[in-house]
Structure 1
Amino acid sequence: MKKTIFLLAFICLAIFSADAQLLHKNRNASRADSLRGSMRPERTSFDVKYYHLNISIDPYSKLIQGYNDITFQIDEPTSKIQIDLFDNLSVDSIKLGDDHLDYKREFNAVFIDLGKKLPENDVETIRFYYSGKPTIAKRAPWDGGFVFDKTPSGDHFIAVACQGFGASSWWPNKDHLSDEPDSMLISIAVPNNLKNISNGRLRGVDTLSNGYNRWNWFVNNPINNYDVSVNIADYVHFHDTYKDLDLDYWVLPENLEKAKKQFKEVKPMMACFEEKMGFYPFKEDGYKLVETPYLGMEHQSAVAYGNKYQKGYLGNDLSGTGVGLKWDFIIIHETGHEWFGNSITAADIADMWIHEAFTTYTEAIYIECRWGYEDAMTYLNGMKRNVQNDIPIIGPYGVNKEGSSDMYPKGALMLNTIRHITADDELWWNTFKNYTLDHKKTIVNRQIVQSYFEKHLGIDLRTVFDQYLTTTDIPVLEWKRKGKKYEYRWTRVVDGFDMPVDILIGNEKTRIYPTTEWQKLKLDDKDAKIDVATGQFYIFTKEALD
């Protein structure tokens, strides 16, 4: 498990859970949702230390079979633990040493009877044998499961994407964001005319007697369960370095020359990200881009790439401004997740905005590094068109449910707003970078993130986080003007909302401090033009009618 302040995270989740349930009162959770999303004694009693996933994948029958060795430490004495595996896959047997263990299945949860109560600090390893045909994704990565595809030359092209859907859709594990192994060995056997590329460093390839080769990849860092990946094809490989970081690229043979050109963007991206967010967090495991039959995914140290060697998002600009066509969306966004999501991980999927808001913001960070502040602001403001304000960004805790997809654009716009509330770029960027370094390889939640930025920026951000994360309203600055008198107030805001905002009076920038009560600003010139900085603060404006 990541070295974390998880007890604090767990307490803070409990504090916020009541509010979250009210916000999502019409989003019903099933017993299966609770089994997957909640932390009960069968989960809190043990801490996963290590996985060794050892399986074979048959591309023809689409069959997985093998085992996962699960090494764990007992935190609270227990005789029963929960491991997760989708119920369309068979549990063949579970062993502790030479003993076969009894188990019961309920939906996708497997409750394992350890045969005796294990004491605190005891370290044990169970071997979980399983087999079956995993779920086939219909539209990866937007739904979960395996993709069994073919390359243009007719070879097998196989990968998996399971964020949100669940890593337990294809391998048995403690399928909750709050517990990650300290390290992991991924051993995948595939026909010997194919290669499997997984996370971490290649430990070696074993030649088996059945016409298969077993590819052994070791991950030397904590890893999210949904990040664990297989990528199977007749890949070709090329290598580069950035400073002392290994850059490895695995692509289809027919795309080698395209990849050599397209992946040149990795080095300026790394330079930008390390300047603004600190060193690449998984140097021990290296950095890989692996071509996949679907668009992309943030698989730790083995980023899935399927953008077809185009700028933008499959040749489109999500912002509608043209700025998004200057760079390859999948390279930038999915690599941003190495810092946010893979290194810094949310304790509950309800706080998935901690992954996605910050990572979407890294798109603007990259733009600002390469093309300047104005282009970055143009891009972020273009993203406003993608905000739906359908449900709150924070989801209901404890039931494996995310909040709104607004966590991407609206979450990034919230961060940009906080930057401009700060009104000190040096302080903002130092705080942003130190946040990623101080919380690297840890589990966090909303309160931990909020408290860090409040402390280091010296700003009370409670109502800002409440407004953008827990409501579907964007703050409205209501105003009215008569001659030299200018009045303003906030509407459609949470109680106590008093966020400052900048306005331009002519060419002079002035900061005002609206509340929900009317306030007055005396103007020297009754004809002075007033502009509200809606490009820096994610707000709406409205003229009040007398």
Structure 2
Amino acid sequence: MSFKACRALLTGVSMLALAACATASVSQEVVPAVAEPVAVQTPVRESTAFTLGTDQPRTPEQLAMSFDKADLSIRVMPETKTIDAVAVLDFTATAPVTAVVVELDTLLTVTSVQVDGDELSADDEWDNPEGRMTIRLGRTLATGETVSVRIAYSGAPRVAPQAPWDGGFVWAATADGSPWIATAVQPEGCDIFWPCIDHPLAEPKRVDLHITVPSNLSAPSNGRFMGTVDHGDGWTTWNWSAANPNTYAIALNIGPYDEVRSDYQSRFGNVIPISYWHLRSDDPAKVAALFAQFAPMMDFYESTVGPYPFGDEKMGVVETPHLGMEHQTINAYGNAYKLDGKGYDWLLHHELAHEWFGNQMTNRNSDDMWLHEGLGSYMQPLYLRWLHGERYMQAELQEQRRDLINRFAVVSGAERSEDEVYKSDVGPGLDLYNKGSLIAHSLRMLIGDEAFFRSVTRLVYGTPDPRPGDFAPRYGTTDEFLAIVNAESGQDLTWFFRGYLYQAALPELRQTREAGELALEWITGDAGAFPMPVEVEVDGVRQTVVMTGGRGRIAVPARAHVLIDPDNKVLRRDVFLEEWKAAGSPN
């Protein structure tokens, strides 16, 4: 899909799944490997405003709980477009607490709530106004005590109006009429179809999934495959177990799938299962061509960032009736095998980036979302260099540069919700991707490859030398990344982060040439010092101008040709691009 098409669909809301839209060029016309999914018209039933938000402040009760495990048994009924589910949630009190508080969409009817096996009565002992369920324990749970809550619920979950941008369930059908079902709930959160604490800092330590579907369908999902149980009545349960999953990354994927499977020999010595679940009707040659990309992409990420974070589970991809989204160990792929002349599938590559930037390292707050999107998006130009050389990387970076918005700062410095950063009318929107990537490139050009890549690895794993089995998913912030970069580079780069991330306007390099000298001066959005060194080419000879205090001078002969920043290492204001946009370009 072209970036223009993505923009038309986004209408202000950008998704993790679509970061690569910001860099994707217009695809060549090709015949899709699989027919477009047949849309199933369903009346829109709307969730509450609370449920449709995510990353909302947690209650005191939620802050006093550690989420140990979610055991989810979900029967998915394609004919009625409904689910019937039981969730068993285990918690440990980290402070005295008298209630368990979780979120669950009010579109789903709760039929039973039990605490440690005892049935509770609605209203008196539990309620779920607006989708925030409070379950009163009837006693004070002491620090260190555990509690198990069982919630039975059923009904028709929210249908995604435009997955994955506006999410929920996708009830589609393949060309032959087989059910083809997926969930995509990143902007709305896990509570669309299972009771959870809908906040990135409230990940359960483990989620076990038992997904029951018609026996002629498959249900690939997160984590390690634990086998199937054929009930002999036309229904089969698929069992999965995932450690430390992002809550919105728990995904249901149901369809007439075949699996292509292999083992990837990691450069770190472990063997990782890799799987692709595709529609049985797909062109085998296109399936094989896409699957052949898995191992090179894994090798790129492992050599660039570090070990695949979930090697003891799998690297999985499933074909979906929506464009795509990163779902930990089971990334959604709906790009229909389209080619765009770059020699790799951009959607597959970008979603895989989020296994590192999003699932292994999760931002502590949405204000730091560029750590997911910007660093993840920078992996695409780096991969093009890995595959084809410098020209392809520079072409990709230029596409990103051309599409900057620069209306809001990438980082505000305050707590933000997802809507406040993804919607471009109130936050950075697509600049999370493009500008974040270009900032990462300028940082790499400034401090060098060794310091840059060691900084990225430390951010992702919490250590500069990760090895399979000796790290766990973690949370990161922009301030932490700055501290890491300072340590690795031996410099104080507060000015760099402030000048790029905390300002909407790009730094402007003003030039004055007179009396045999070229004078350069950086102007930033907050008028702060910006001592970014600048390479200058004078009649083909390069030199680096040290910009002490944001100013520098060099001697330049009267008729010499001067080229500023010949390798485009520095992200800065380009007036000619602003004029082009003002004349009627996209954005």
TM-score range, shorter chain: 0.7 to 0.9
Q: Residues 369 and 433 from structure 1, CA distance in 2 versus in 1: closer, same or farther, beyond 3 angstroms?
A: farther
After superposition, the Cα gap between the structure-2 partners of 1:399 and 1:115, relative to the gap in structure 1 and judged at 3 Å, is: farther
SS at match of 1:239: strand
Q: 1:450, CA displacement in angstroms?
A: 2.1
Pick one of 459, 466, 477 that aligns with 1:435: 459
Q: Is the 8 A contact 1:357 1:409 kept in 2?
A: yes
How far did residue 250 of structure 1 move?
0.7
State the match for 1:15 in structure 2.
none
Q: Quick one: distance in 2 between partners of 1:129 and 1:304?
A: 28
Shift of 1:168: 0.7
1:412 to 422, 428, 437: 437
Residue 285 of structure 1 and its aligned partner are, at CA, apart by 0.8
Q: What residue number does 2:100 align with? A: 81
Aligned runs of 1:283-362 on 2, under 5 Å? 283-312=311-340, 325-362=342-379
Contact 2:517–2:557 under 8 Å retained in 1: no
Does residue 576 of structure 2 align to residue 538 of structure 1?
no
Q: 1:503 matched to which residue of 2?
A: 535
Partner of 2:79: 60
Q: Structure 2 CA distance, aligned partners of 1:233 and 1:502?
A: 55
Cα deviation 1:236-274 (Å, max 9, x = unaligned): 112112201111111001115121122211111111111
Task: Answer yes or no: is the 8 Å Cα contact 2:534–2:547 preserved in 1.
Answer: no
Q: How far off is 1:84 after superposition? A: 0.8
Match of 1:450 in 2: 482
Pair 1:216 & 2:214 matched: no
Counterpart of 2:203 in structure 1 is 180
Counterpart in 1 of 2:65? 46
Q: CA RMSD in A?
A: 2.2
Give the match for residue 189 of structure 2.
166
Q: Deviations over 1:145-176 (max 9, x none)?
A: 11111111110100011112211111110110
Counterpart AA for 1:56? R
Alignment-derived partner of residue 107 in structure 1: 130
Cα separation, partners in 2 of 1:217 and 1:542, compared to 1, 3 Å:
closer
User: Residue 463 of structure 1 aligns with which residue?
Assistant: 495
Shift of 1:108: 2.3
Give the whole-Å Cα distance in 1 for the aligned partners of 2:131 and 2:365.
Answer: 18
| 2:545 equivalent to 1:512 | yes
What SS does the aligned partner of 1:178 have?
Answer: helix
Provide the identity percentage.
Answer: 28
Match of 1:238 among 245, 254, 260: 260
Is 1:278 paired with 2:301? Answer: no
- Are 2:262 and 2:275, in contact at CA under 8 Å, matched by a contact in 1? yes
Q: Secondary structure at the match of 2:202?
A: coil
The letter of the residue matching 2:72 is L
Paired letter, 2:398: N
Q: Unaligned stretches of 5+ in structure 2?
A: 1-48, 266-270, 422-427, 464-471, 577-587
Range with bigger deviation, 169-178 or 451-460: 451-460
What is the CA–CA distance in structure 2 between the aligned matches of 1:230 and 1:83, rounded to whole Å?
A: 20
Instruction: Decide whether the 8 Å contact of 1:477 with 1:541 is kept in 2.
Output: no
Query: Of 158, 162, 177, which residue of structure 2 is paired with 1:154?
Result: 177
Q: 1:49 to 1:484 in 2, by over 3 A?
A: same
1:263 corresponds to which of 279, 291, 300: 291
Contact residue 351 and residue 402 of structure 1 kept, 8 A: no
Q: Indicate conservation of the 8 Å contact 1:37/1:398, yes or no.
A: no
Question: Structure 1 pair 398/113, CA: closer, same or farther in 2 (3 Å)?
Answer: farther
Separation in structure 1 between the aligned mates of residue 257 and residue 106 of structure 2, nearest angstrom: 32
CA contact (8 A) 2:504 2:525 kept: no
| CA offsets 1:424-447 (integer angstroms, 9 cap, x no match) | 223323333343332651012222
- 487 and 189 in structure 1: CA distance in 2 versus 1, 3 angstrom threshold: same
Q: Contact 1:89/1:133 (CA < 8 Å) preserved in 2?
A: yes
Corresponding residue SS for 2:391: helix
Contact residue 502 and residue 509 of structure 1 kept, 8 A: no
Residues 60 and 179 (structure 1), Cα distance of their counterparts in 2 relative to 1, 3 Å cut: same
Letter of the structure 1 residue corresponding to residue 288 of structure 2: K
Q: Hey, what's the Cα distance between the residues in 1 that align with 2:56 and 2:77?
A: 31
Larger displacement relative to structure 2 (38-47 or 293-302)? 38-47
Contact in 2 for aligned 1:505/1:530 (Cα 8 Å): yes
**CA 1:449–1:92: 2 relative to 1, 3 Å:** farther
Q: Give the Cα separation in 2 of the matches to 1:392 and 1:470.
A: 5
Aligned twin of 2:390: 373
Aligned to 2:278: 251
Shift in alpha-carbon separation, 1:499–1:522, aligned structure 2, 3 A: closer
Q: Which moved more, 1:378-387 or 1:266-275?
A: 378-387
CA distance in structure 2 between the aligned counterparts of 1:414 and 1:127, rounded to whole angstroms: 47
Cα distance in 1, alignment partners of residues 556 and 78 from structure 2: 76
Match of 2:7 in 1: none
Going from structure 1 to structure 2, the CA distance change for 1:372 and 1:532 (only over 3 Å counts) comes to same
Structure 2 residue aligned with 1:426: 450
Q: Give 1:32 shift.
A: 7.3
Q: 1:112 to 1:428 in 2, by over 3 A?
A: same
1:527 Cα deviation after fit: 2.8
Q: In structure 2, what is the Cα distance between the partners aligned to 1:365 and 1:472?
A: 25
**Offset at 1:87?**
2.1
Deviates more, 1:133-142 or 1:367-376: 367-376
Q: 1:107 to 1:464 in 2, by over 3 A?
A: farther
- Give the superposition deviation at 1:91: 2.3
Equivalent-residue separation in structure 1 for 2:201 and 2:433 (angstroms): 22
2:201 is paired with a residue whose SS is coil
Distance 1:123 1:511, change over 3 A: farther
User: Structure 1: which 4+ aligned runs deviate by more than 6 Å?
Assistant: 30-35
Alignment length, in residue pairs? 500
The answer to whether the Cα contact below 8 Å between 1:199 and 1:217 also exists between their aligned partners in 2 is yes
Aligned position for 2:221 = 198
Aligned to 1:4: none
Provide closer, same or farther for how the CA distance between residues 341 and 402 of structure 1 changes in structure 2, counting only shifts above 3 A: farther
1:500-526 Cα distance to aligned partner (Å, 9 max, x none): 132223233333344776x35131523
Q: Deviation at 1:35? A: 8.6
TM-score between the two structures when normalised by the length of structure 1:
0.86
Displacement of 1:284 after TM fit?
0.9
What's the offset of the Cα at 1:41? 1.1
Distance 1:476 1:398, change over 3 A: closer
Distance 1:237 1:365, change over 3 A: same
1:445–1:238 CA distance, 2 compared to 1 (3 A): same
- Please say which of residues 466-475 and 79-88 is displaced more in the overlay: 466-475
Separation of aligned partners in 1, 2:259 and 2:54:
41
Secondary structure of 1:340's counterpart equals coil
**Structure 1's 526 and 265: CA in aligned 2 closer, same or farther, altered over 3 A?**
same
Return closer, same or farther for 1:350/1:131 CA change in 2, 3 Å cut-off.
farther
Look up the match of 2:559: 527
SS at match of 1:196: coil
1:84–1:174 CA contact under 8 A, matched in 2: yes
Deviation of 1:215 after TM superposition, in Å, equals 0.7
Amino acid at match of 1:441: P
- CA apart distance, 1:83: 0.3
Contact kept? 1:303, 1:335, Cα under 8 Å = yes
The offset of 1:460, in angstroms, is 2.3
Give the Cα separation in 1 of the matches to 2:167 and 2:527.
39
